[in-house]
Structure 1
Amino acid sequence: MGSVDARIVQYGIFDSSVSMPEVTETRNRLLTKYEFELYPADCAGTAYIDDVPYPPKAGLLLCVKPGQRRRSQMPFKCCCLHLQVESPALARELDRLPTASFPTDADELTRVFYKMAMHERNSLADELFLQSCADRTLYLLLTLTETPASDRAIDTAHTAVLRDIRNYMRKNFAEPLPLSRLAEMAALSPIYFHRLFTQFFGIMPARFLLKERIGAARRLLLTTDAPIADIAAECGFSSQSHFNDSFKKQTGRSPAQYRKEMLSRVDL
């Protein structure tokens, strides 16, 4: 993987008390790049991703994707890496990362972040070193065992089944997947399956399925010229109007507006 796939936009250790001492809250931004942040210690501030609050705790990893909106309440300090990803295949994998998680073994990830922070971009050798660190970071992000920030204790007898069902939903999101069918696949009652899935992943099955469909639609809007009606059908929506309504509720913009804004690189 090289710079064509993932270009470094920003990196380092961000300390709001040093960089933005007079600022108490940042504006709400629409992201056009991937922003990865690792918090080495508890902070008093709060990160908001699509208006969901994430209090920075020691070991928290935030993976914020293009199309999401974010703002932050100060103060906070974190290791950060912002990337512009050109590879659709890599983007698909990164889009599947949880927005907030606690890597169970983040020592190497932390070391890579700090190695980058101590390096300046003064020469070709520096660029090559930093790119190698970025590539290593991406590898770790995609392979580290992560515990979603909203996880709860779950009977271990069900964890493998729940993960299998989630993976099936990711691969087959365009299919009709009612709760009854998912519960049958898990050999559980619909009510019990719904409770376990929500408890384990921190999101209801229907909400998770919608996020997968919206994520796929975002990628198609940005990487193809396909008509919106075709994208709606390909992503499992029953009609274009249903797609338009769902997409706008998730992003605050219609599919057409989203495509226009993102392709013109407007950072609101």
Structure 2
Amino acid sequence: MIEAINKILPVIVKTLERVHDNSWKMDYNIHDSYELIFIKKGNIDFWVEEEKIDLKAGDLLIIKPFTKHKFEVIGSTKAEFVVIGFYLNPENKAKVNDLKEIYGFLKVLENTTNKFYFFHVRKRSNIFFCLESILREAKESKNSILLYIKCLELFVYITREVDSLEMIKNYDYSLIAKHIKEYIDNNYMEDIKMGDVAKRFFMSESSLSRIFKNHFGILPKEYLLSKRIEKAKEYLTISNLKISNIAMMCGFSSLQRFNDIFKKYTGLSPTQYRKQILQDFK
């Protein structure tokens, strides 16, 4: 029956689920199909060509055909991940125009110079629920037709995400840099990691750093720290808040780290800085 569907639909799907500990790694390999990899649990270091991507639970990666890649599990927790392979059946490619959603998904992937896409899947998103449904169907049923249809549904949801991604990629880089800066300015008090910021803007961490530095002359991580220090100086100047509270309000994970970073940037500890400000006002 699935062979009959293959004659109608242009997409061929293969799915598998894996669980590995940190003793496992996969050397560089190449496939003639697209690969979708979804991380359910754990952490994985993934290389696409020579670019390293840190993947964690909830991350989704799509690799184009004939792209060299490898990955290995890191940390003490076992990694659980799903791999879905898919491609266009050359004999039926002419029929793709009758499937607008799938056409949009594959057309965007085929037309870009990027070797991969990756983004984080929110737990309550349509993509997440669809992936869960695919895994459940693969485990509990031998109905390959239904599994096939669910995979096509997944592609429809990803199409919308990829379309948004392409819109961002087509922006002028200066505009992307400004959006990144705006995000940091509005969220400096949170536990921001540059890897997460990169995924938010659908790019690798190295691309994020390059674009931001080219526009502002400073790495985004350094900008984040300088932003936090400037806000801390403001609180130390205009308020009587405890230094530990200021550290927390400015996004520092501990008082010690706040003290170390503040002294690195100003040459003074937060306490010394506050005393100096008070003396200057006398």
Q: Max radius of gyration: which structure? A: 2
Compare the two structures and name the one with the higher helix fraction: 2
By relative contact order (CA 8 Å, sep 6+), the higher-ranking structure is: 1
- TM-score normalised over the length of structure 2: 0.46
- TM-score normalised over the length of structure 1: 0.48
